[in-house]
Structure 1
Amino acid sequence: MTATAPPAQGVRHPWSGLPAPVRAAVEDILGAPVTEARSQSGGFSPGVAARLRLANGGRAFVKAVSAEVNADSPDLHRAEARVTASLPAHAPVPRLLGSYDDGTCVALVLEDIDGRQPRVPWDRTELDRVLAAVGDLARILTPAPAEVPAVAGLKARMFTGWRTLHAAGGDARLHPWAAGRLAALAELESRWAEAAAGDTLAHGDLRADNILLTRDRTVFVDWPHAVRAAPWFDLLVMLPCVAAQGGPDPDALFTAHPLGRDADPDAVTAVLAAVAGYFAEHALRPDPPGLPTLRAFQAAQGAAALTWLRQRF
């Protein structure tokens, strides 16, 4: 299969473009000057994302953004710093080495993971490895080992897509199947919060660009959207993106996975409806600053989620 989603990329800025006080603060955290910085293209965070080499031979990963680039991104970096710092040492995530925040610009200094993102279109061997790691992650993070918002609170404003579209009288750009069933989809979506409740610390935004494969580990990066949710929540959120990037049928993957096999089918359908509605409604919005491929990426995920929802409907 081929991928239908565009690359997950924000507009990157070079390490050298950061203000001198920010670069100096990062070097203070690391205890050595930066001698080399290689920008990384994957992921939707705008601003700086770079692998650093240091004068003392050390390495680190830095991500930094200012409110001038994107008004929402500094708060996401702050959330990621809080979550990453609170995760247990044995969790497969990068360690937070330090952070900088001057009120406008936020920088995170993280352990540099010597790995790569999974190939897309997805390779089945790599996908099976990642799916097994998602199950392991849910076991490690249940019960939730840190304070994060309940999914019903953090996603309350996001998972209203079908209800928003229904209240607006629909949209000519919607898939005909969805356009003819907005009332039913809105009602189904309204049940998502109770259906998604649980005590697993979920990543909340799993995609290929948030995963690194090393020789012997699968590492999950970028944690600003972490929530307390059902153990199968991450698996469900991830699979429409897998399908949009050339992966197999999401329903078959979900029902064959240990997390999916144990999930209540009605709860899964309600949460899937909310996810599909989120992507359908957000894909119709203008591109946000610094994220030129986001809406097309959401449209591809939304199409895959809707196809999956139609199977379950």
Structure 2
Amino acid sequence: MSAIVPAQGVRMEWQEIPATVRGALEQQLGARVVEAATQRGGFSPGVAARLRLADGTRAFAKAVSAEVNEQSAAMHRTELANAALLPPGTPAPRLLGSYDDGLWVVLLFEDVAGRQPHVPWVPAELDRVLAAVGRLSERLTPAPDGAEPLPDEPFKGWRLLAAAHADGTDDLADMDPWVRTHLTALAARERDCGRAIAGDTLAHADLRADNILLTDAGAVFVDWPHACRAARWFDLLVMLPSVAMQGGPSPETLFAAHPAAQGAVAEDVTTALIGLTGMFLDQARRPAPPGLPTLRPFQQAQGEQALAWLKTRLAGGSPAG
């Protein structure tokens, strides 16, 4: 089993946001912030803080400066747009406000009274989350107007690895021998990922323990920058490698038994898993982004679990399809 790698960036504190920005946020919230509790889980080099206001209300702030990480700032902007797509009743935090001065990007959400699941996974909590994932897929089918399909860019990992191997910039010597044997077939089949995952569900597309809050009513799903139109089973597929990496059961067993996977075309699921595995393993070989020292090890651990699942689905054979 892969090591349990923490999903954790280098957080900034609320007080590190410039005073002028904090003042603008307090104006939107309608009261002064008297307490800010930093939340450590999740991949962000910015602020993630639960706020208590002078009038007794609460809020949650996500903030990042493009000077620290331009990609994180862009993702905050994308999440703002995606938050507007979520229909009423979606188990996600309600957007309260936002701020963007071209450098600092801040999102203000309602503060959800909940906690992340225990890691390693506790069976009862995993059952609650899997049931909530099923309800989420039902609630977000059909996808709301404006939801876009997942772009092809994430699913080029095997082709990038094959190109690096071919031109000698990466010998892939530390890769699983099965990967090196089947690299050409993996690179060819991932080209079909877009078609394989196509569907009419708005998928979160980045479900894992640090993006889930357990509440008295069930579960709430946070951090939506990757939301896209996809197959009903796509969120489940994306989530299960991290579940396995964090002490959960076999992905194949969980996937086959889940209502969201019923009726899924087996070849499409395998094709999507090929793309997901290549994405994780390719990104894990890149330099760490600023402020995210654990991201690459986390992706490597997810990739190893996804690869083990893929080999199970292919029974150790060829991915040529």
Equivalent pair of 2:129/2:218 in contact (CA under 8 Å): no
TM-score of the superposed pair, with normalisation by structure 1: 0.97
Q: Which amino acid aligns with 1:230?
A: A
Matched, 1:294 2:290: no
Query: What CA distance in whole angstroms lies between the structure 1 residues aligned with 2:29 and 2:111?
Result: 12
Q: Secondary structure at the match of 2:135?
A: helix
Q: What do the CA deviations read for 1:40-88 (whole angstroms, capped 9, x no partner)?
A: 0010011100000000000000010011111101111011111113311
Query: What CA distance in whole angstroms lies between the structure 1 residues aligned with 2:132 and 2:77?
Result: 26
Aligned ranges 1:182-197 → 2 under 5 Å: 182-197=183-198
Q: Which amino acid aligns with 1:239?
A: L
Q: Answer with 26-35 or 160-169: which moved more.
A: 160-169
Equivalent pair of 1:174/1:280 in contact (CA under 8 Å): no
Alignment correspondent of 1:61: 60
Structure 1, unmatched stretches of 5+, are none
Aligned ranges 1:37-76 → 2 under 5 Å: 37-76=36-75
Q: What do the CA deviations read for 1:11-58 (whole angstroms, capped 9, x no partner)?
A: 101100100111011101110000000000010011100000000000
Structure 2, unmatched stretches of 5+, are 166-170, 315-321
Query: What CA distance in whole angstroms lies between the structure 2 residues aligned with 1:120 and 1:273?
Result: 26
Alignment correspondent of 1:137: 136
Q: Tell me the CA shift for residue 275 of structure 1.
A: 0.3
Q: Tell me the CA shift for residue 261 of structure 1.
A: 2.5
Aligned ranges 1:97-108 → 2 under 5 Å: 97-108=96-107
Query: What CA distance in whole angstroms lies between the structure 2 residues aligned with 1:72 and 1:168?
Result: 24
Alignment correspondent of 1:216: 217
Query: What CA distance in whole angstroms lies between the structure 1 residues aligned with 2:272 and 2:4?
Result: 22
Aligned ranges 1:171-250 → 2 under 5 Å: 171-250=172-251
Aligned ranges 1:152-171 → 2 under 5 Å: 153=151, 156-169=152-165, 170-171=171-172
Query: What CA distance in whole angstroms lies between the structure 1 residues aligned with 2:107 and 2:125?
Result: 28
Taking only the aligned residue pairs, the percentage that are identical comes to 59
Alignment correspondent of 2:264: 263
Matched, 1:309 2:310: yes
Q: Tell me the CA shift for residue 3 of structure 1.
A: 6.8
Equivalent pair of 2:203/2:230 in contact (CA under 8 Å): yes
Q: Tell me the CA shift for residue 146 of structure 1.
A: 3.9
Equivalent pair of 1:149/1:227 in contact (CA under 8 Å): yes
Q: What do the CA deviations read for 1:89-117 (whole angstroms, capped 9, x no partner)?
A: 21100000000000111000000001000
Q: Which amino acid aligns with 2:3?
A: T
Equivalent pair of 1:3/1:120 in contact (CA under 8 Å): no
Matched, 1:253 2:254: yes
Query: What CA distance in whole angstroms lies between the structure 1 residues aligned with 2:172 and 2:79?
Result: 35
Q: Which amino acid aligns with 1:166?
A: A
Q: Which amino acid aligns with 1:46?
A: P
Query: What CA distance in whole angstroms lies between the structure 2 residues aligned with 1:82 and 1:71?
Result: 17
TM-score of the superposed pair, with normalisation by structure 2: 0.94
Q: What do the CA deviations read for 1:152-192 (whole angstroms, capped 9, x no partner)?
A: x2xx1111111111122251221221112101111221211
Query: What CA distance in whole angstroms lies between the structure 2 residues aligned with 1:290 and 1:173?
Result: 26
Give every structure 1 segment of 4 or more consecutive aligned residues whose post-TM-superposition deviation is greater than 4 Å: none
Q: Secondary structure at the match of 1:276?
A: helix
Equivalent pair of 1:92/1:219 in contact (CA under 8 Å): yes
